[in-house]
Amino acid sequence: MDVLSQLRHQLADYTNSLHRDGFLDDQFSQLQQLQDESSPDFAMEVVSLFFEDCQKLVTNMARALELQAVDFKQVDSSVHQLKGSSSSVGAARIKNLCVAFKTCCDSQNRDGCMRCLQEVNRECVLLKNKLQTLFRLEQQIISAGGSIPM
- Long-range CB contacts for residues 95-102, cutoff 8 Å, separation at least 24: 95/25, 96/22, 97/123, 102/76
Of the pair 31, 131, the CB lying nearest another protein is at 31
Of the pair 7, 127, the CB lying nearest another protein is at 127
Is 23 near another protein (CB under 8 A)? no
d(CA 130, CA 51): 13
Of the candidate spans 10-18, 44-52, 105-113, 125-133, the one that interacts with another protein by CB under 8 A turns out to be: 44-52
Q: What's the angle, vertex CA 112, arms to CA 50 and CA 19, rounded to 5?
A: 40
**Shortest approach of another protein to residue 84 CB, angstroms?**
5
Is 74 near another protein (CB under 8 A)? no
Is 31 near another protein (CB under 8 A)? yes
Is 135 near another protein (CB under 8 A)? no
Taking every pair of Cα atoms in the chain, the longest distance, rounded to a whole number of angstroms, is 62
Contact 62, 125 (CB under 8 A): no
Of the pair 2, 36, the CB lying nearest another protein is at 36
Of the pair 7, 25, the CB lying nearest another protein is at 25
Is 30 near another protein (CB under 8 A)? yes
> Helix, strand, coil proportions of the chain in percent (round to 5)?
80, 5, 20
For residue 72, what is the enclosing H or E element?
helix 72-89
- Residues of the shown chain interacting with another protein in the complex, contacts defined by CB under 8 A: 27, 30-31, 33-34, 36, 39, 42, 45-46, 49-50, 53, 77, 80-81, 83-85, 87-89
